[in-house]
Amino acid sequence: MSVEHHEPVKVTFEPEGRAVSVLPGTALIEAAVRAGIVIETPCGGAGSCGKCRVEISRGAPPAGEADRRHLSSDEIARGVRLACQTRVTGEMFVSVPVAARLFEHRILTNGQGRDVPLHPTVSKRHLTLTPPGLEDQRADEDRLLAALEEKKVHPGLEVLREMPRILREKQFDVTVAVAEGRVVALEAGDTTARNYGMAFDIGTTTVVGFLIDLTTGRELAVAARTNPQIPLGDDVVSRIHRACEPGGLQELQHKIMGGLNEIIADCCRQAGVASEHLYEATVVGNTTMSHLFLGINPEFIAQAPYVAAVRRAVNVQGRDLGLQIHPHGIVHVLPNVAGFVGSDTVGVVLAAGMHEATGRALAIDIGTNGELVIGNRDRLLACSTAAGPAFEGARIRFGMRAADGAIDKVLIDFDIQCNVIGNVPPRGLCGTALIDLVAELLRVGCIESTGRLLPPDELPSSMPEAIKRRVREGEKGVEFLLIPREETQIGADIVLTQRDIRELQLAKGAIAAGAAILMKEFGVKAEDLDHILLAGAFGNFIRRSMAKRIGLLPQIPSEKILYIGNAAGAGARMALLSRKCKMEANQIGERTQYLELAGRADFQDEFTSAMMFPES
């Protein structure tokens, strides 16, 4: 998924009329997830089952090959498409039939979709006060609070300072924004219709922000940026080291705040909203990102025994951080679980409703670190495992992120079939394609279960010639030619190396071992799980059969493996929309038991065996 600075476009889902703004190139199923609608994709988005039909009444892109295979020409003419094969190219109106819906946000609570009740922390009240007179000399504050009829509300100093002038600006006709005992803002006239908030998902690599109308619950805009801290450190640990240098913490905080403020400005521009009408921002991120965002020393997260400074939710004012919402608006950072399981994971549990579910689910959010949570309403257990950046394309010879020019899908029939994002010549391969390619090479016998890429002379004779020809001795050992240089953008052969396979083994081994330990501690086997939930942008594009074939996911029926989209971000949005969800998030943070894998002998054993590929 590209997160470059394209102008976002609006996608409206019918019959709800829910609109989201997404970046061009976003998969339609991802856009739907953002709108709280999860489209069923039993084949894992491979375009092979034809179940994810939606009707695009405006802005339908040309039908693709899979569309033509599954849909009649009448349907295609009407705008019916397979959601899993469709990318957003411009403004769209999309009707999602009930049959195509898997669940909405809270999939597991009762097996049915359920809306988040709209009850934001900040509410606005329009008040017409009686002006003072000699017979009614109440102080401005008393007059205001009496009209508010809330006993325990205190205006902050800044509100008190402006109060006399604002009250008199429109003859004591005012609007008050109130949040949990505090007057956040006082405005002349009736401004109740202008009540907005931002939800942020701060990833180590990518930062996404959503602008939400708190009176309707609608998402008005979305914007994303590459995390501007990247130049100061690629991953969590290198950023912690940077934070320990003199001035480093301030610099990191300054960088992320700059990025978030750009996102705010961008969203406000899209939605035509003034930033002083943003009264709350909710934030999820991994524990280190939260610490850096708040300017809290993350030093001891990176050293044994890996202890966070802060685990609970933090509430501060916008101006305390330099976040350019209303200066006295609330910034609510959702709680963490532990040093390596952050509020993003809490957001996943919240959005998936695991904390209320009776069934047993395992949620996996794959990034540089894989965070895993197992459980249900009775017990939640989490761990973190260092998958490394292979799935994001790093340390893979021709690895890249899922941007234009990335091969994102590989199939082998008689020869290699590739899909390239953006219909351009390829530049490299992203994580999903890496999984596909290794899975397919395992199937055809090019790779042994140890991960060894067989040299040309050891290849099984049953293998198609076209595939055989691609295996060759490279400078650093055996390699597999995916795309010859003349078909690429980069003037070089795109190959898969033995080392790439080893990187993938480390990455998938870490995730699989973490899952195995969690299941063991929880006392279940893979077959006892009711669901595996794949969260995050990456998780949503993994093909389930391929992931099982390489042993990244356990061998359970694919229909039990569900895509839940950017569930961390959805959790941040839910906390913004609903005080109840905020409290649930606090309980999730409190309740979820953290399993430390470091130093566990059984983790080392699991990891060693999980690096192997399953025997077919």
Q: Binding to its own copies by residue 132, rule CB under 8 A?
A: yes
Q: Binding to its own copies by residue 148, rule CB under 8 A?
A: no
Q: Binding to its own copies by residue 583, rule CB under 8 A?
A: no
Is residue 120 a contact partner of residue 197, using CB atoms and an 8 Å limit?
Answer: yes
Q: Binding to its own copies by residue 133, rule CB under 8 A?
A: yes
Q: Binding to its own copies by residue 244, rule CB under 8 A?
A: no
Of residues 171 and 417, the one with the C-beta less far from its own copies: 171
Name the one residue in this structure whose structure tokens are 């990247």.
Answer: 230
Q: Binding to its own copies by residue 293, rule CB under 8 A?
A: no
CB of 123 to its own copies, least distance (A): 22
Q: Which residue in the set 6, 68, 165, 580 belongs to the binding site for its own copies (CB under 8 A)? A: 165
- 37-76 binders of its own copies (CB under 8 A): none
Of residues 296 and 612, the one with the C-beta less far from its own copies: 296
> Cβ neighbours of residue 531 under 8 Å, at least 6 residues apart?
107, 108, 359, 360, 361, 362, 560, 561, 562
Q: Binding to its own copies by residue 371, rule CB under 8 A?
A: no
CA distances from 352 to 7, 229, 382 (A): 29, 29, 15
Is omega for the bond preceding 484 within 30 degrees of 0, making it cis?
no
Q: Binding to its own copies by residue 161, rule CB under 8 A?
A: yes
In this chain, which stretch among 163-171, 174-182, 270-278, 537-545 interacts with its own copies, using CB under 8 A? Answer: 163-171
- 172-231 binders of its own copies (CB under 8 A): none
Helix or strand (DSSP H, E) at 362: strand 361-366
Q: Binding to its own copies by residue 137, rule CB under 8 A?
A: yes
CA distances from 214 to 78, 219, 283, 394, 574 (A): 35, 9, 16, 39, 11
Q: Which residue in the set 6, 69, 138, 469 belongs to the binding site for its own copies (CB under 8 A)? A: 138
Q: Binding to its own copies by residue 247, rule CB under 8 A?
A: no
> Which positions from 592 to 611 touch its own copies by CB under 8 A, shown as an x/- string?
--x-x-xx------------
b/e code 145-178 from CB counts within 10 Å (16+ = b): bebbeeeebebeeebeeebeebbeeeebebbbbb
- 299-328 binders of its own copies (CB under 8 A): 299-300, 304-312, 314-316, 320
Q: Binding to its own copies by residue 372, rule CB under 8 A?
A: no
Q: Binding to its own copies by residue 336, rule CB under 8 A?
A: yes
Is omega for the bond preceding 15 within 30 degrees of 0, making it cis?
yes
Count of H helices and E strands in the chain? 19, 29
Of residues 160 and 394, the one with the C-beta less far from its own copies: 160
Helix or strand (DSSP H, E) at 236: helix 236-244
Tell me which long-range contacts 70-79 makes (C-beta under 8 A, separation of at least 24).
Answer: 79/55
> Cβ neighbours of residue 153 under 8 Å, at least 6 residues apart?
145, 178, 181, 182, 183
In this chain, which stretch among 223-231, 276-284, 295-303, 525-533 interacts with its own copies, using CB under 8 A? Answer: 295-303
Q: Binding to its own copies by residue 139, rule CB under 8 A?
A: yes
Q: Binding to its own copies by residue 613, rule CB under 8 A?
A: no
Question: Token pair of 364, please?
Answer: 């996996």
Q: Binding to its own copies by residue 246, rule CB under 8 A?
A: no
Give the closest residue to 338 by CA, choosing from 590, 10, 117, 34.
590
Give the separation between CA 282 and CA 182, rounded to whole angstroms: 17
Q: Which residues bind its own copies (CB under 8 A)?
A: 132-134, 136-142, 154, 157, 160-165, 168, 294-297, 299-300, 304-312, 314-316, 320, 336, 338-339, 594, 596, 598-599
